[in-house]
Amino acid sequence: MTRKFLLLLALGVSTAFCQTTGWKLYWADEFSGAAGSAPDSSKWAYDTGAGGWGNNELENYTTSTANSFQDGRGHLVIQALNVNGGYTSARLKTQSTFSFSYGKVEARIKMPYAQGIWPAFWMLGTNIDKVGWPNCGEIDIMENFGVTANDAALNHGTIHGPNYAGAGVGANYTLPGGAKLADDYHIYAVNWGPGSVEFPVDGVSYFKTTPASLPSGGTWVFDNNPMFLLLNLAVGGSPAPVGYPNATTTFPQQMLVDYVRVYQQVALASGTPNISPNGIVDAALGGVNLAAGGLATVYGSNLAEGTYPSTFNAQTGSFATSTPSGVVIAVNGVPAPLTYVSPTQINFQVPWATPATGNPVGVTVARGASASFAEPVAFSVAAPGIFQDYSAGTALVTGRIPKSGAACVMWGNGFGPVATGLLDGTPAPLVANPVTGSCQLTIGGVPTQVGYCGSAPGLVIDQLNFSYPLTIPETGGKVSAVLVVNGASINLALPVVR
């Protein structure tokens, strides 16, 4: 690994510190069931029926796998259908299976966006059957009102309770750059503690509410009040600003859920490593999927006692799987080569033998006899990422400045297996070693000639050689691109000549 790419990945600090609490995964569903199977009945129950649900909604909620099912690729699908002019959908809940008080709740969701379509991820107090709504309390983690509200880039985070039931108390998160939330998965979360409910999207906090935030006469009902989770996809609604489907609304409409996780803070012995919730990402693009041989980053606290800019051993020609002080990262129990180590960040290579079964892998950090809790992370045959030029907001492209017909190189990660097997932690040989499957690049909607797609010679990352299309205008700014490796795709922005 050259210093250039180490600098791209190494952003950790150099001073270790101790803490007495850390995050532990308390409950989760990764939706790893077979294609077409129902949601796990040990975790999810259903609300069923029609009647408007207090919002003049049109759907009939069912238990049918036509409306809620696992897709066999690690996702839950909640699907709204138009059946002979009537609408069916699903509303899942953990009311009879799981409830909790306080913690960090996260769900990675790709929402739909259409006229009259209303996706939501939310929580209700378990005492709803005794005290009713809104006295039970409601926390809306993800809510989108569709085209009527011009909500393409907006997520609504809101609390509802006594004397603030209707509009509630909340704020909106706007996705930067004018992008649409429905175009990709995003992580919708809430940090819930005594006297506080905080709302992040993709790790960015946009609103925090406390008892002081309530209107006059409002009662805070979120302390010592266990709550349960809900996921649903409604069709139509009023007086909520959703409106109703019209000729522009196509069916089926789908909400895709990658995972739901609940973390709680627990006491830790001094110096025990702790992985941050959702703290394991692809090292190139920060994506949440990993692949064998790819570089990954784990974020947390007390991960190491100091900083090791590199563990490369010139005598063995490879990166070590532990530091001199005994820091080890294990992926499904297998030690992983370490490329950078600090108290808050460790970069590592996913062992090549890690099987792509469709289930998440478990990652742990150990410091001698002390080990972190395992953190799950999605795992695929390929999980392509491209290193970024963050100053330009584009993919890092070398060679000639991207220009019509120019031969260019992008540096990537997670392309998956290559023709000649590689050893963990060992840079690739100085010969071409392409991926074993397909690799396509489209720039500005134009299929692009790919000259090489595989391991980068002499490095532990991947390389993509391509020819910039002649038809792309040589104007300033960026151009959109899509890279697909072995069926796994990512959206990119590439630079163009200024």
270-280 pLDDT per residue, tens: 889 999 999 99
Active site residue 143: yes
Minimum mean pLDDT range among 189-198, 398-407, 431-440: 398-407
pLDDT at 407: 87
pLDDT at 20: 73
Residue 359 CB neighbour total at 10 angstroms: 14
Cβ atoms of 109 and 256 closer than 8 Å: yes
pLDDT over threshold 90, residue 498: no
Question: Of 123, 130, 184, nearest to 153 (Cα)?
Answer: 184
Instruction: Please state the length of the chain.
Output: 498
Cβ atoms of 455 and 432 closer than 8 Å: no
Q: Would you tell me which CATH number, out of the four given (2.60.40.10, 1.20.120.1810, 1.20.1250.20, 3.50.50.60), belongs to the domain 3-18+271-380? A: 2.60.40.10
Check for a shared fold between 3-18+271-380 and 23-265. Answer: no
Catalytic-role residue among 143, 198, 305, 474: 143
Strands 361-367 and 345-349, sheet pairing: unpaired
Compute the distance between CA of residue 143 and CA of residue 43 in angstroms, rounded to an integer. Answer: 22
Q: Tokens for 410, please give them.
A: 């992008």
Active site residue 57: no
Compute the distance between CA of residue 93 and CA of residue 100 in angstroms, rounded to an integer. Answer: 13
Tell me the sheet residues that pair with 28. Answer: 261
Q: Tokens for 486, please give them.
A: 């072995």
CATH for 23-265? Answer: 2.60.120.200
Cβ atoms of 348 and 282 closer than 8 Å: no
Catalytic-role residue among 57, 138, 375, 474: 138
What average pLDDT score do residues 429-433 get? 93
Compute the distance between CA of residue 88 and CA of residue 79 in angstroms, rounded to an integer. Answer: 8
pLDDT over threshold 70, residue 315: yes
239 sits in the region (left: phi over 0; alpha: psi -120 to 50; else beta) called: alpha
Listed by start position, the domains of the chain span 3-18+271-380, 23-265, 385-495
pLDDT at 4: 42
Compute the distance between CA of residue 328 and CA of residue 364 in angstroms, rounded to an integer. Answer: 8
Whole-number mean pLDDT of the chain? 92
Q: What is the pTM of this model?
A: 0.90
Q: What is the DSSP letter of 178?
A: G
* Amino acid letter, residue 478: K
Collect all residues with Cβ–Cβ distance below 8 Å to 242 and sequence separation of at least 6: 55, 116, 117, 118, 145, 146, 148, 149, 234, 236
Question: Of 387, 439, 382, nearest to 415 (Cα)?
Answer: 382
Cβ atoms of 142 and 248 closer than 8 Å: no
Q: In degrees rounded to 5, what are phi and psi of residue 126?
A: -70, -15
pLDDT band at 177 (very low <50, low <70, confident <90, very high): confident
Q: In degrees rounded to 5, what are phi and psi of residue 489?
A: -120, 150
Q: Would you tell me which CATH number, out of the four given (2.60.120, 4.10.780, 3.40.1350, 2.60.40), belongs to the domain 385-495? A: 2.60.40
What does the angle CA 134 – CA 130 – CA 54 come to, to the nearest 5 degrees?
Answer: 40
pLDDT at 150: 92
pLDDT over threshold 80, residue 473: no
pLDDT at 7: 43
What does the angle CA 376 – CA 45 – CA 73 come to, to the nearest 5 degrees?
Answer: 40
pLDDT over threshold 90, residue 5: no
